[in-house]
Structure 1
Amino acid sequence: MHNNNKELTLSAPLSGPVLTLARVPDAVFAGGAMGDGIAIDPLNDTLHSPCAGVVIHVARTGHALTVRADNGAELLLHLGLDTVELQGDGFSVLVKEGARVSNGQPLLRYDVDKVGRRCKSLVSLLILTNGEDFQARPITLKNVKVGEPLLHIIARTPQAANTEERAGPEVRAQVRVAHRGGLHARPAALVRQTAQGFQSRSQLHFAGKSAPCNSLIGLMGLAVGEQDDVQVSCQGPDADAALQALIAALATALPQDRHAAVAPASHPVPKRPAEAGVLQGVCAAPGLVDGPLFKLNAISLPPDAGGHDPAGQRQAFDAALNEVRREIDGTLAQAKRLGNTDEEAIFAAHLALLEDPALLDAAAQAIDGGNAATHAWSQSIDAQCQVLQQTGSALLAERANDLRDLRQRVLRALLGETWHYDVPAGAIVAAHELTPSDLLQLSGQGVAGLCMAEGGATSHVAILARGKGLPCLVALGAALLDQEQGQAVVLDADGGRLELMPGAERLAQVGQIRQERQERRAAQQLRAHQPAATLDGVSIDVAANVASSAEAADALANGADGVGLLRTEFLFVDRHTAPTEEEQRAACQAVLDAMGDKPVIIRTIDVGGDKQLDYLPLPPEANPVLGLRGIRLSQARPEILDQQLRALLQTRPLERCRILLPMVTEVDELLHIRRRVDALCGELGIERRPEIGVMIEVPAAALQAEQLAEHADFLSIGTNDLSQYTLAMDRDHAGLAARVDALHPALLRLIAMTCAGAAVHERWVGVCGALASDPLATPVLVGLGVRELSVSPVQIGEIKDRVRQVHETECRRLAHGLLKLSSAAAVRHACHQHWPLR
């Protein structure tokens, strides 16, 4: 019943004893992650509506639903614990989404015996999911019968509770989550950032639970997995725009997630039988090092007697938060300056966590209760870590490490400890679990390697360790922390081993292997700036794939013969408006300037389909990689390509700028763009247009290579997309990624066909996909006719060295023989036989 349009008394939806949430045997509900509310241990078989309102969500499995009361309060009714696993068996939903219901109306029935025997507990929840607008106050904690007063709902502000003052109706949509591993920290941060760009209030609904889109922890606590279907609801003056932006944020996998999914280091090393003196773990970053073991310990707090002055503790807490925000802002700025996109994404997520209402409100409430700020913050973090670990998702459990990182940083600020580990250079650091902040500091102190008792190969620390080239082992077990400080160990991350008692002979062997590797890398680097040619004199350009002027400068320093692929998407993503023509020109000019006198191949914008832009809303597609993307988007929105072409044509010197067109499937597409470039050259008074190339990334382009080469100045093979389109395997699919191997004989046939078609018109062919960076594939590509390899900047010296080891004539003979083999595995085996890696 209503007291007025702002306050509401909820009646009991079930009969039975009433429990506080703290007594619910489920960490997610007991910890308040889903919101405030009450629980009932039911004695009847029918769930009734606690008020008049509208059913806004019904769980697919029929165990839960959400009702929006007329005053705007949203109430999740969840029957039993872990009942989602019953997949609807034993439940009968009596209402549909969108239905108007009255107070006391039956909503769902359930088979008490069937459900009670198979679920964790019949304890059922009534949760207020929009607690940012309302608060719940229990009326009774005794036994209740259906319809008796149970909770009092009060609006926090008049504006929040008055639905008449909400501008515009609510809009909803369903979307499938594309992010690798679901909504862990970085994708959740993207969703949060997107929601904050609009005035409307947005919520995410999944499996009978809801979370505000502005709460990173709330979003992660939903435990949304990859390819799960979720609902998004938005209400406010810009609800439609917010809904479209959130759909795009959820349906578009992050580039770094795609990259991490195929990183070799992310595959666990199989556990082998126990070996004396050896701890076995999982490789998070490869390498082989030896050194003294140095153990790090987390900050521990003494017991807190309470009774602190809330005002003083709040002031100290706010000051500590501001100090940590400044530290993270500095880390972010440096990561952006250096083009470290993984590092930037990780610490942007940390900054979002530091502003999360679920964390801050819990800490503030504890401080108001007289707790010390240190203990209030620590308890808030611990509660949310438990929520993530109770989701059952290994990936989300790993993300709890990011929360522990913030726990340490804020505690250091509160305690006044200087954040510095006194670790000797060359040490192998051991810890229960390192945090991203720890890793950044330790890498700057020259440590040799890292090992952890816990942690995972897909954690943020693992990503950063791979980027820093620091060998890293995780999941070594508690025995790691029992080892003596300073003892000599060998960290063999490639083999998943920490050797605790290496003898003098083993240490000498490790030293020799490391020295040989270092000498080889040094020799490769010494010659990295020299041209690469085979033993029989065939020149091969080794260029770099880059996404910024900083990466271009790094490529030049590493000996690149040019830029083989500049991805211009970096200019268009992570913003709410399109870049101007001048912004694009300046960014591309900066890359040209950074490369000295070397050529730069600039790919026109390749978004659409699976790569959405906030300011370019496109309809969701069932098969986005087969949809409106690359050059197809440019045809649909010609003004975007025209603006980019104008920007490119105004770079200087223009002869060093080469334009590359993505996702071309037929000659007419190339001719259309060529005519447009010629027209723009006329308008700008340019007498000679720059070279125009075509990306060969779909089988149709490879099959028409000869016809395309007649009108293109060069061809560049994108083996990543060509692999998935040829093999009909999504390279982002967790179960198939390892099988999407560009050394498959079918791929090699398409590469051979491309090179043969280009040779008819004396055009050169490059490879800018991941296969170019694989030294095992270098002789194969040279033998098939590829004359430019575009690789990651750090691999330039290695690939040039590989080119110099082979004869082109022998490569040609052997490579064409590989086309007859039966599988990628057979090709790789033959490559190891013909051209063994040193």
Structure 2
Amino acid sequence: MGGATGACRARGERRRRAGRAASRQRTACAGIVSTTLRGIAAAPGIAVAPAWRYEAQPADRGRDELGLDDAIAAATAQLNGLVDRLTAAGRPAEAGILEAQIMMANDPELVAEARRRMSAGEPTSTAVSRAGAAAAAQLAALDDELLSARAADVRDVVARVARSARGEVGPQLARRSIVVAEDLPPSVTAELDSALLAGVVLGGGSRTAHAAILSRALGIPAVVGVEGVPAAVPDGVALAIDGDRGEVLLEPDASELVALERRRHASEARSIADRELSGQPLCTRDGHRITLAANIGHPEEAAAALAAGAEAIGLFRTEFLFMGRPSAPGEVVQAAAYASVLELMGERPVVIRLLDVGGDKAIGYLDLPAEANPFLGMRAMRLARRNPELVLAQLRAILRAGERTGRQPWIMAPMIGDLQDVALFRELASRAAEQSPRAPHPRLGVMIEIPSAALLAESIAREVDFFSIGTNDLTQYALAVDRTNPELGPWQDPLHPGVTRLIQLAATAAAAAGIPVAACGEMAGDPAGAAVLIGLGVDELSMGAASFAAVKRALGAVDHERLRQLARDCLAAPSARRARDAADSVLRDGRAA
């Protein structure tokens, strides 16, 4: 939330956005017809190679199978080999993804469910596959992009255990290819020969799926969320992908290949410029400073964020500590995770969000009843009324981490709807502080993600130390659009005037109370969204580190007053589309200046 001061160089050129809904464009040149499919830009770069369609291998039911313990041991040994390979290549963060899969393979609840199925007569591979499918389905339904993307990891690890039970080997590339699939398990991404893996195209997935994260880490271009894939792409067809634009070209003609080569050179130049930007602050062309913070979902992500130029951790999600285990994590385990990030970040603020779970989460030890609409149900701080000790233990662990490191933690409560919720949060924080008298006094803040909180922001601001606007849920709740339903993509734009007016209420109230206000949803990492947020009065933008450079370039090319005018235009716009057009126009003008 804090930030340094100083001058900032103007830079232009924002990252192009690709909509999830795929569109096709056909062009004819010298008798050759090419097809362009559009999806989500997931990993930058350009690749040209034949398509290789990946499909999960059908089970060979005719062979004898290993027992569950032996199958898990074999899968664990394979994953350990991949961890060693990534670590030796200087990719410890990516190795951590597969280390997490080792934990999944040995998860007590998953193993117990597989054993229950085996006792009912199912073979090892079937039992573990069905147990994993149920767990993956629960994760996929979560209203959190990072957590829902972990469903692919569960499916990946149980598929590996099932293959090990059947004595099968994983897929192998025979020549340099672009892999095309509906979904690509992250361990398969890491296991395929990187010298032959030219690119990745997925029909499903998101930028936060581990296959996309690994692709970025390995320098492999990737486009995900491409409608019609893999059915629209024959095996072996000539393919070209642009991971910066989110474009996939089937049978590109000569002119398109020349254009791709030009874009490849431009992309490489941008990558060099991005690295140069990592040491520069985030500010507008006329020097208005904005704190640049990172969203992380695991302590291992903090180092990469710091290296990319993060001035704070604006959102430290803590759900990873509570998921996939038979009982709640102890305070010592929690404190160690929080302390590792506080220590790494030094004097830079670290905003730790309290546990955000509810009836949609697969957490057996909480004994949460199923709900018809869990995203509007008993979740997050509402759960504290039913199970206050769970939140108290987390608060004590955070304070213990502060005491151990000598750093002041910033603690944020999610799903705050009114002053009663704020009072409960403050009461629990006070009780935890009484039990941790030597810990530094924390700063207490709330997420503004329920419309009622934005409408009551003036009163709430007087009771807390900071605001953080969760634009993802705020958009979902304000516009009545389910974030998990891809068909509603066109309605999920946070630039909708109904959403920006709620953001304005929160920013105005924070300014009047003299407290900082951040934005930590996807809107903050979108250059157009970031421009509007700064115009509305937001002090800090918190996003994935991969978005830092694009946002710096975009905002660095526009004066602060122009962003304020843009915000006024968006507030008065008749629709989200008109607001986005206005933002795009301002950023284009900035690049051209």
User: TM-score by structure 2 length?
Assistant: 0.74
* The one of 529, 550, 558 aligned to 1:806: 558
Name the counterpart of 1:457. 203
- Preserved contact between residue 23 and residue 37 of structure 2 (Cα < 8 Å): yes
Contact 2:466/2:517 (<8 A) preserved: yes
Deviations 1:679-720 (A, max 9, x none): 543443348521111111111111121221112111110111
What displacement does 1:741 show?
Answer: 1.6
Partners of 1:462 and 1:753 in 2: CA distance = 30
Q: 2:224 matched to 1:498?
A: no
Residue 429 of structure 1 aligns with an amino acid whose one-letter code is I
Matched, 1:681 2:430: no
Q: Which residue of 2 aligns with 1:616?
A: 366
Partner in structure 2 of residue 289 of structure 1:
46
**Distance in 1 (alpha carbons) for counterparts of 2:471 and 2:406:** 28
Matched, 1:641 2:391: yes
- Cα contact 1:631–1:663 (8 A) shared by 2: yes
Residue 732 of structure 1 aligns with which residue? 484
Match of 2:222 in 1: 471
| Aligned CA distance change for structure 1 residues 280 and 326 (closer, same or farther; 3 Å) | farther
Shift of 1:790: 0.6
Distance 1:509 1:271 in 2: 16
Partner of 1:173: none
Superposition deviation, residue 433 in structure 1: 8.8
Per-residue CA deviation, residues 744-777 of structure 1 (Å, 9 max, x unaligned), is 1011011111111111121111001111111111
SS for the counterpart of 2:240 is strand
**Separation of aligned partners in 2, 1:419 and 1:632:** 46
Please tell me whether residue 429 in structure 1 is matched to residue 183 in structure 2: no
Deviations 1:24-62 (A, max 9, x none): xxxxxxxxxxxxxxxxxxxxxxxxxxxxxxxxxxxxxxx
Structure 2 match to 1:14: none
Match status 1:327 vs 2:78:
yes
Aligned to 1:576: 326
**Unaligned 5+ residue runs, structure 1?**
1-262, 365-376, 382-397, 484-488
User: Aligned with 1:536: secondary structure?
Assistant: coil
Match 1:716 to one of 468, 472, 476: 468
- 3-state SS in 2 of match to 1:549: coil
Q: Deviations over 1:205-240 (max 9, x none)?
A: xxxxxxxxxxxxxxxxxxxxxxxxxxxxxxxxxxxx
**Which residue, 413, 433, 441 being the options, matches 1:661?**
413
Contact between 2:70 and 2:165, CA under 8 Å: does it hold in 1? no
State the Cα distance separating 1:267 from its structure 2 match. Answer: 3.6
1:539 corresponds to: 289
- Tell me the SS of whatever aligns to 1:819: helix
Cα distance in 2 between the residues matched to 1:637 and 1:314: 44
**Is 1:625 the counterpart of 2:375 in the alignment?**
yes
CA distance in 2, matches of 1:315, 1:704: 60
Which residues in structure 2 correspond to 1:113-132 (within 5 Å)?
none
Moved more, 340-349 or 823-832: 340-349
Cα distance change on mapping 1:339 and 1:792 into 2, 3 Å: farther
Q: Is 2:32 aligned against 1:277?
A: yes
Aligned CA distance change for structure 1 residues 785 and 501 (closer, same or farther; 3 Å): closer
Identity of paired residues, percent? 31
Give secondary structure in 1 for the equivalent of 2:364. Answer: coil
Shift in CA distance, 630/654, structure 1 to aligned 2, threshold 3 Å: farther
Matched, 1:589 2:344: no
753, 756, 778: which one aligns with 2:530: 778
Q: Work out whether residues 265 and 284 of structure 1, in 8 Å CA contact, stay in contact via their aligned partners in 2.
A: yes
Give the secondary structure class of the aligned counterpart of 1:448.
strand
Is the CA contact (8 Å cut-off) linking 1:531 and 1:539 kept in structure 2? yes
The one-letter amino acid of 2:178's match is V
Amino acid across the alignment from 2:204? T
1:670 — aligned with what? 422
CA offset at residue 350 of structure 1? 12
Paired residue secondary structure (1:822): coil
Partner of 1:819: 571
**Structure 1 match to 2:192:** 442
SS of the equivalent of 1:578 reads coil
Note the C-alpha offset of 1:610.
3.0
Q: Residue 7 of structure 2 aligns with which residue?
A: none
Task: Provide the rounded CA distance (Å) in 2 between the counterparts of 1:317 and 1:698.
Answer: 45
Alignment of 1:743-754 (within 5 A): 743-754=495-506
Partner of 1:768: 520
Quick one: which of 251, 254, 262 aligns to 1:512?
262
1:601 is aligned, of 351, 354, 360, to: 351
Q: Is the 8 Å Cα contact of residues 27 and 35 (structure 2) preserved in structure 1?
A: no
Instruction: Flag the 1:773–1:350 CA change in 2: closer, same or farther, 3 A.
Output: farther
Deviation at 1:508, TM superposition (A): 3.7
Separation (CA, whole Å) in 2 of partners of 1:683 and 1:406: 46
- Please give the alpha-carbon distance, in whole angstroms, between the structure 2 residues aligned to 1:719 and 1:475: 32
Alignment partner, residue 584 of structure 2: 832
Separation in 2 of the partners of 1:461 and 1:678? 39
- 1:260-318 Cα offsets, whole Å, 9 max, x none, are xxx967544347588853454755663662445486999999xxxx9xxx9xx779999
State the partner residue of 1:110. none
Q: Give deviations 1:411-470, integer Å, cap 9, x for gaps.
A: 9967xx9986464xxx4436799964543233733733246xxxx612799955533143
CA distance in 2 between partners of 1:300 and 1:613 (Å): 31
Gap runs ≥5 in structure 2: 1-16, 130-151
| Corresponding residue SS for 2:553 | helix
Q: TM-score, normalised by structure 1?
A: 0.54
Query: Alpha carbon RMSD of aligned pairs, Å?
Result: 4.8
CA contact (8 A) 1:339 1:550 kept: no
Higher RCO (C-alpha 8 Å, min separation 6): 2
Shift of 1:591: 1.7
| 1:607, distance to aligned residue in structure 2 (A) | 1.6
Contact 1:431 1:481 in 2 (8 A): no
Q: In 1, Cα distance between the equivalents of 2:51 and 2:240? A: 13
Mapped partners of 1:500, 1:751: distance in 2: 45
1:318-367 Cα shifts (integer Å, max 9, x gaps): 999964553146558989964876996799589989x7989x98999xxx
CA shift, 1:518, in A, is 2.5
SS across alignment from 1:659: strand
Question: Alpha carbons of 1:339 and 1:650: their partners in 2 closer, same or farther (altered >3 Å)?
Answer: farther
Tell me if the contact between 1:716 and 1:767 (Cα under 8 Å) persists in the aligned partners: yes
Report deviation, 1:782: 0.6
- Check conservation: 1:697, 1:717, Cα contact below 8 A: yes
- CA distance in 1 between partners of 2:196 and 2:397 (Å): 43
In the alignment of these two chains, the number of paired residues is 524
Question: Partner letter of residue 277 of structure 1?
Answer: I
CA contact (8 A) 1:279 1:497 kept: no
- Larger CA Rg, structure 1 vs 2: 1
1:88-107 residue CA offsets vs partner (Å, 9 max, x unmatched): xxxxxxxxxxxxxxxxxxxx
Assess, with a 3 A threshold, how the Cα gap between structure 1 residues 681 and 482 changes in structure 2: closer, same or farther.
closer
Q: Deviations over 1:126-178 (max 9, x none)?
A: xxxxxxxxxxxxxxxxxxxxxxxxxxxxxxxxxxxxxxxxxxxxxxxxxxxxx
* Matched AA of 2:448: I
Which of 469, 477, 481 is equivalent to 2:236? 481
Once the two structures are TM-superposed, the CA of residue 643 in structure 1 deviates from its matched residue by 1.4
